[in-house]
Amino acid sequence: MPYAGGSVATNRALTVVGAETAIASWAIHDGCAAAPRVDRVAAHVTSRVWSGCADGTGVAFYRIDGGGHTWPGSFDVRGFSHALGPVNDEIDAADVMLAFLRRPPDALIGAPITVGPPAI
């Protein structure tokens, strides 16, 4: 999927919205505050966290500048980096997701989700 949206190479002319438009739609759907809190969590990672969402829900989005179509914090798949792009090791996506899912319902109010660098 192209980050900015657009055409996807399929046998049916498929067009998708960009990642930032899609996540903003989730924030609207969940009744969150109009503007997210934006934090630089690492040199190449920026988080956008919406608070004040309905029924204790939350929306968080992490943008990785220069990242590939890979799982942040995982290993580089030898022989596929030319097709997938680089793996970012500044965060571990599994740790970020678990921190988000384990939070108390109002924990997103005014605070980014923070985790340390991946364990090696």
Report CA-CA distances (Å) from 11 to 15, 20, 36: 12, 25, 36
- The per-residue pLDDT for range 35-92, each reduced to its tens digit, is 999 999 999 999 999 988 898 888 999 999 988 888 888 887 777 777 888 889 999 9
Enter the pTM of the model: 0.78
pLDDT band for 119, please (50, 70, 90 cuts). Answer: very low
For residue 114, pLDDT over 80 is answered with: no
For residue 23, pLDDT over 60 is answered with: yes
| Cα–Cα distance for residue pair 76/71, rounded to 1 Å | 9
Q: Which residue has the higher pLDDT, 108 or 78?
A: 78
Cα 49–Cα 115–Cα 1 angle in degrees, nearest 5? 55
Predicted pLDDT of residue 113: 54
- Element at 28 (helix H, strand E): helix 19-29
Contact predicate 54/69, CB 8 Å: no
The whole-chain average pLDDT of the chain stands at 83
For residue 110, pLDDT over 60 is answered with: no
